[in-house]
Amino acid sequence: MAMKKSFALLVIVGVFAGLIVFRGIQQRQVDQAVPETGAESVEVVSMTGMKLSNVVEFSATIEPEEQAAVVARVPGRTVLQVFVSEGDFVKRGQALAALDRSIVEQQIAEVQALFDAAAADNERYQSLYAEEVVSRQVADHAKTRYLQAKSAMEQARLLERYHTITAPVDGVIARRFIDPGDTSSPQGPVFLIFRQERVKAVGAVPETAYAEVNVGDVVSITVDAVPGEVFEAKVSRVSPMIDPATRTAKIEIALPSGGVIRPGMFARVRISTGEREAMVLPREAIGSLPGTGESICFIAQGDIAVLRVVQTGIEQNGWVEITGGVSADEEVIITRSRSIQDGTRIEVHRQ
């Protein structure tokens, strides 16, 4: 009897020992097993057709439509006074600066004396000729000397007027290049005057858009210094040639300044040149390849994400034009996630 009890106890101990060993082996198998990576849940779309506006956009600088460079006509004179500063509005003929007149005043005094003498001689000889006291040749010689003296006098007076530098047009003093004590020189301007009733936006378009822009096209202009305002204008000039260095063409748009648009301001120009059909994808489907700047998307091929380089056109209202790299029957992943890479396993959800 005791022997049976001992045997039963040994059987029970053996069963428990076997269970413990089996459980240990099972746990080791679980620990050594490689867990499967879960698939990334994504949404996909296909390209769709849409009408897009043909839009040419470029940055521009506001310049005066008309400007005048004022040059000192008399060289080597000391600037005695400057009557205006940058930003001052001036009228045509207004004095801007005064040069030293001491030399020209001496010249005028000398020429005046010669003129007075020649005028008196001419009057006397003309009277003597009329009385037939002197010959016609002598009278003509006196008249010639008088006319020469008169011309010299007029030139001296004109030179004297040049010692006052005046504004050739109405406008605003944009730049002032002289100060009292400087020496005048005709080699460069002393003032720059802008006429600001009308200004122009000057920029450049790439050669790919050159053929789309024409004189008379309506444009929308925004100016950073005048936020919230959109100015309508028209293209006034298109350069007849493309710069071979930059592959761009110069464009000018004339517009009223309205008292708020000033030369030197930065502007953004938008020209709509019509509409066309295009294949597009949502903006969130398009990314950029690091280090290259190339546009990319991810195509759903079965349960795998495949990276694809695409060619893009214009972007409007959250849609991007696709010109190459994706076909119409392919499904493009629009889910934004850092974990989606080339070869990532995916679980597709269609919109």
Buried b (16+ CB within 10 A) or exposed e, 226-240: beeeebebebbebee
State residue 10's pLDDT score: 55
Lowest mean pLDDT among 8-22, 98-112, 268-282, 321-335: 8-22
Render pLDDT for 40-99 as a digit per residue (tens, 0 to 9).
Answer: 899 999 999 998 877 888 999 999 888 899 999 999 999 999 999 998 999 999 999 999
Give CATH for domain 101-161. Answer: 1.10.287.470
Per-range mean pLDDT, top range of 127-131, 146-150, 287-291: 146-150
> How many other CB atoms sit within 10 Å of the CB of residue 30?
9
Q: Which tens digits make up the pLDDT trace of 270-316?
A: 988 777 889 999 999 999 888 888 999 999 999 999 999 999 988 88
Question: Running DSSP on this structure, what letter comes out for residue 101?
Answer: -
Q: Which of 58, 50, 56 is nearest to 319 (CA)?
A: 50
At residue 148, the pLDDT reads 93
Which of residues 178 and 272 earns the better pLDDT score?
178
DSSP class of 264: T
E-only strand ranges, 140-265: 164-166, 171-176, 189-206, 218-223, 231-238, 248-256
Whether the pLDDT of residue 30 is over 50: the answer is no
What is the overall mean pLDDT for the chain?
Answer: 86
Percent of the chain with pLDDT over 70: 89
247 touches 207 (CB < 8 A): yes
Give the confidence band of 35 by pLDDT, cuts at 50, 70, 90: very low
Mean pLDDT of 105-112: 90
Instruction: Quote the pLDDT of residue 259.
Output: 77
CB neighbour list of residue 310: distance below 8 Å, 6 or more residues apart = 286, 295, 296, 297, 322, 324, 325, 326
Fold: same for 42-51+277-350 and 101-161:
no
pLDDT band at 33 (very low <50, low <70, confident <90, very high): very low
Going by CATH, does the domain composed of 57-62+197-276 fall within 2.40.30.170? yes
C-alpha–C-alpha distance, residues 272 and 220, integer Å: 9
Q: Which residues are registered as beta bridge partners of 178?
A: none
**Rounded distance between C-alpha atoms, residue 211 and residue 249, angstroms:** 10
Q: Outline where 131-273 has alpha helix (H).
A: 136-162, 207-210
Any idea of the CA torsion for 315, 316, 322, 327, to the nearest 10 degrees? 150
- The secondary structure of residue 36, as a DSSP letter, is P
pLDDT of 178 over the 70 cut: yes
Q: What is the pLDDT of residue 32?
A: 45
C-alpha 257/C-alpha 65 separation (Å) is: 10
Per-domain boundaries in the chain: 42-51+277-350, 57-62+197-276, 101-161
- The average pLDDT across 244-268 equals 90
Predicted pLDDT of residue 5: 53
Q: Across residues 125-130, what is the average pLDDT?
A: 88
Q: In angstroms, rounded to a whole number, what is the distance separating the alpha carbons of residues 327 and 318?
A: 20
Q: 42-51+277-350 is classed in which CATH architecture? A: Beta Barrel (2.40)
Rounded to the nearest angstrom, the gap between the alpha carbon of residue 55 and the centroid of all alpha carbons in its chain is 17
Confidence of residue 23 (pLDDT cuts 50, 70, 90): low
Q: Which helix (H) or strand (E) holds 225?
A: none
Count of helices and strands (H, E) across the chain = 4, 19
What global pTM score does this model have? 0.54
More confident residue, 127 or 2: 127
